[in-house]
Structure 1
Amino acid sequence: MSNSPENIYSTRLARLRARMAEVGTDLVAVGPTSNMAWLAGVSAHGDERPVMVLVTRDHAAFLMPALNENSVRQHTDLPFYCWVDADGPQDALETMLADFGLNRDGVSVAVDEAMRADFALLLLDALPAAKRQFLGETLGYLRCRKDETEYHQLKENALLTDACVTAAFASLKVGMTELEVVKFIDDFFAANGATTEFASVCFGVNGAFPHHDSGETRLEENMPLMIDLGCRKGGYPSDMTRSGYFGAKPEGYEAIAEIVESAVKAAIATAKPGVRASAVDDAARSAIAKAGYGENFLHRTGHGLGIDIHEHPYISASSDTVLEEGMVFSIEPGIYFAGRFGVRLEDIAIMRKDGVEILSDKPRDLIAAV
């Protein structure tokens, strides 16, 4: 089977229609979001002009501002219902819905939760009796289960990030600022055909902030550090965290890292098809709590990763999601001590029939920068 973009997007549309039939959804409305990029390969110009893809089990088309028609046409063969600024989108939308032949009194519509509210209300006002839901059971369900094309891109990006974090730790010198390391990361990814999705470089006490904004803190001898980073290439991101030290390890640092690693392993061992995401979170959390540091684990165990850096499934205590083959998510427990340091170890995993495959090849051992 060809992996051409045309084949990928036609396959995804067919899968969406099959899923709509399974769950009894008549209409799916996708805005100019990552959902549109996944379904149609289109990243439409985002402004106040309504644009969306509407999909039924027999029809699919764009509501499209005429201003963007020729540009977007380069990326999709789906029909367009165009409208101009002088007229507004209402008539084009009404024509589109009429052509789709929907029974508006009983239509079940799934609306992209990430689209602008005014776009969604435009559609819902045209379907006042519709049964409304978000995309979780239709397109969202499919996005959670990555295909082989997505897997290979995520794997490639994970290996590139392995190389970047190794090089970043090797580049460290006394007096460097966190932002100088971020610049090194930016340059490394750019040299390898990627862009930086994010980079959080945490020197010393800044490692105690799970979401630290890198700044002017300078690297000193005998300092712990943590680097959380990701790139974007081929439309998909990466995400990993490694912890280490420059000079001598702080007292107790290695022991804490061993506890965090035990939590990663507990989560990996628990993650199987049919297991709830909350059970994976509990496994990691229990390993840290049993060591006496439960109150120092400040966040969920993980998040899904796909076109978006954070997407379903979420690996948290409140998640009822049942894990299935093809789901991709992070496993990233951490222990944080305000005013001292933090240790987090993060890998991205894809669910296989007998457990998870870790996308990174880089060990989670503490990295000695000198």
Structure 2
Amino acid sequence: MDRMGIAMDKITEANCDMAVISKSENIFYLAGFKPSARAFLVLFDEPVLMVNSMDMAEAENKTSVDLFEFKKLEDVKERIGSLSPESVIFEPSISLGTFEKLKGSFNFIVKDIIGDLRIIKERAEIDNIERALKIAEKSFMKTDVEGVEVEVAAELEYHMKVNGSKRPAFDTIVASGARSSNPHAEVSFNKIQTPIILDWGATWEGYSSDTTRTLVTQKHEEEILDILLDAQREGVKTAKPGVKASYIDKVVRNIISEYGYGDNFIHSTGHGIGLEVHEPPSLSADEDIKLEKNMIVTIEPGIYIKGKYGIRIEDMILIRKNPKILNRLPSIIKL
């Protein structure tokens, strides 16, 4: 797929003649280089990637797009102005301060034209995500879940790094005992208790994985996990091309509610994943996007009993006629 060409078509469809791409993941998607500092990919007749001196050498090795080194934002504004655009697209993620320094006499709109392209994965992207997931799961199997929470998280992240992940996809969550009732609890120096929620992800070639497992020991914990697995199974069955993302959330949420725990499922059912851990579509009640073949989403139902415990299960799903669970790790793991 000619990503750059499709992006240029999107600009034309928006009745504009230029786009200034400033989000690092979108620059990487189009140019093959992810800047470490502020950068701008200007899409016009001939695309130009504007980077600062720290990124220039790396950019020269990674991208075939013409490069321009800037020292201050005024340099970028002058370069944009020299092309005499009539109407320019800026991304929603650009900061107001940066936008104020770049805007000129041209008309402008704020629109995300690259996110729509990224939402459906190419074969190479799927391979990268599966490789990241393989690293994450292999690393989990090498991790001893004992001691204190922060030690478990550190060991898991260590194994991911030595297995090929340059960095974790996000800060690893290890939350045990009563702390597991907080869906996004930070790791603590508390001694491991049960149940134990572990939420972790690796990266490969810029792409991320995201998995959650809850280690249980008590019968009531196992019963809650069985409810979540029932809900997740139905969600996966429903996750096919043409189905609204909100409907997946409804299916999963209804099953949990039938068991009497609807009020204890306090977050959305899942999200897209790729160059970012959280991408569209959101599997939530207000998401109207219809799923399409080769999207990758997570399905992660959870039940949280405030101040007592929480249980969550999360797998990554490749959308197709017969939805494919990409995870190989067992859903039920006991200490």
Q: Name the TM-score, length of structure 2 as normaliser.
A: 0.91
Structure 1 counterpart of 2:43, one-letter code: V
- Structure 1 pair 87–162 and aligned structure 2 pair: CA distance change class (3 A): closer
Is structure 2 residue 172 aligned with structure 1 residue 199?
yes
Asked if the contact 1:63–1:93 (Cα under 8 Å) also holds between the matched residues in 2, the reply is no
State the alpha-carbon separation in 1 of the partners of residues 51 and 168 from structure 2. 31
State the alpha-carbon separation in 1 of the partners of residues 9 and 232 from structure 2. 36
Asked if the contact 2:207–2:276 (Cα under 8 Å) also holds between the matched residues in 1, the reply is yes
> Which of residues 151, 154, 168 is equivalent to 1:180?
151
State the alpha-carbon separation in 2 of the partners of residues 53 and 126 from structure 1. 20
After superposition, the C-alpha distances for 1:288-331 in whole angstroms (9 at most, x for unaligned) are 01111000001000111111111111111111111111211110
Note the C-alpha offset of 1:21.
Answer: 4.5
Asked if the contact 2:81–2:104 (Cα under 8 Å) also holds between the matched residues in 1, the reply is no
Asked if the contact 1:83–1:92 (Cα under 8 Å) also holds between the matched residues in 2, the reply is no
Is structure 2 residue 29 aligned with structure 1 residue 41?
no
> Which of residues 260, 268, 271 is equivalent to 1:292?
260
After superposition, the C-alpha distances for 1:310-363 in whole angstroms (9 at most, x for unaligned) are 1111111111111111211110010011222111000111212x0421111123
Give the 3-state SS of the residue equivalent to 1:125 in structure 2: coil
Asked if the contact 1:273–1:355 (Cα under 8 Å) also holds between the matched residues in 2, the reply is no
- Aligned partner of 1:29 in structure 2 is 20
State the alpha-carbon separation in 2 of the partners of residues 240 and 68 from structure 1. 32
Is structure 2 residue 250 aligned with structure 1 residue 282?
yes
- Asked which structure has the greater CA Rg, the reply is 1
Is structure 2 residue 229 aligned with structure 1 residue 261?
yes
- Aligned partner of 2:330 in structure 1 is 363
Mean Cα deviation higher: 193-202 or 276-285: 193-202
Is structure 2 residue 212 aligned with structure 1 residue 241?
yes
Unaligned regions of 5+ residues in structure 1, if any? 1-7
Is structure 2 residue 187 aligned with structure 1 residue 214?
yes
- Structure 1 pair 161–87 and aligned structure 2 pair: CA distance change class (3 A): closer
Counting only pairs closer than 5 Å after superposition, residues 110-149 of structure 1 correspond to structure 2 as 110-127=89-106, 129-130=107-108, 132-135=109-112, 138-149=113-124
- Aligned partner of 2:281 in structure 1 is 313
State the alpha-carbon separation in 2 of the partners of residues 327 and 217 from structure 1. 38
Asked if the contact 1:159–1:359 (Cα under 8 Å) also holds between the matched residues in 2, the reply is no
Asked if the contact 1:33–1:115 (Cα under 8 Å) also holds between the matched residues in 2, the reply is no
- Structure 1 pair 112–87 and aligned structure 2 pair: CA distance change class (3 A): closer
- Aligned partner of 2:270 in structure 1 is 302
- Structure 1 pair 34–179 and aligned structure 2 pair: CA distance change class (3 A): same
Structure 1 counterpart of 2:135, one-letter code: L
State the alpha-carbon separation in 2 of the partners of residues 184 and 52 from structure 1. 37
Note the C-alpha offset of 1:38.
Answer: 1.3
State the alpha-carbon separation in 1 of the partners of residues 53 and 162 from structure 2. 38
Asked if the contact 1:228–1:242 (Cα under 8 Å) also holds between the matched residues in 2, the reply is yes
Kindly report the root-mean-square deviation, in angstroms, between the aligned alpha carbons of the 2 structures: 2.2
- Aligned partner of 1:14 in structure 2 is 5
Is structure 2 residue 62 aligned with structure 1 residue 75?
yes
Mean Cα deviation higher: 152-161 or 20-29: 20-29
State the alpha-carbon separation in 2 of the partners of residues 209 and 21 from structure 1. 46
Structure 1 counterpart of 2:182, one-letter code: F
Structure 2 counterpart of 1:239, one-letter code: D
Q: Name the TM-score, length of structure 1 as normaliser.
A: 0.83
- Structure 1 pair 55–64 and aligned structure 2 pair: CA distance change class (3 A): same
Note the C-alpha offset of 1:64.
Answer: 4.3
Structure 2 counterpart of 1:285, one-letter code: R
Is structure 2 residue 80 aligned with structure 1 residue 93?
yes
- Aligned partner of 1:231 in structure 2 is 202
State the identity %. 26
State the alpha-carbon separation in 2 of the partners of residues 158 and 69 from structure 1. 31
Structure 2 counterpart of 1:79, one-letter code: D
Asked if the contact 2:37–2:52 (Cα under 8 Å) also holds between the matched residues in 1, the reply is no
- Aligned partner of 1:3 in structure 2 is none
Asked if the contact 2:245–2:282 (Cα under 8 Å) also holds between the matched residues in 1, the reply is yes
Asked if the contact 2:31–2:64 (Cα under 8 Å) also holds between the matched residues in 1, the reply is no
Give the 3-state SS of the residue equivalent to 2:317 in structure 1: strand
Pairs aligned (count) = 333
Asked if the contact 1:154–1:359 (Cα under 8 Å) also holds between the matched residues in 2, the reply is no
Note the C-alpha offset of 1:84.
Answer: 4.5
State the alpha-carbon separation in 2 of the partners of residues 86 and 241 from structure 1. 42
Unaligned regions of 5+ residues in structure 2, if any? none
Note the C-alpha offset of 1:156.
Answer: 1.3
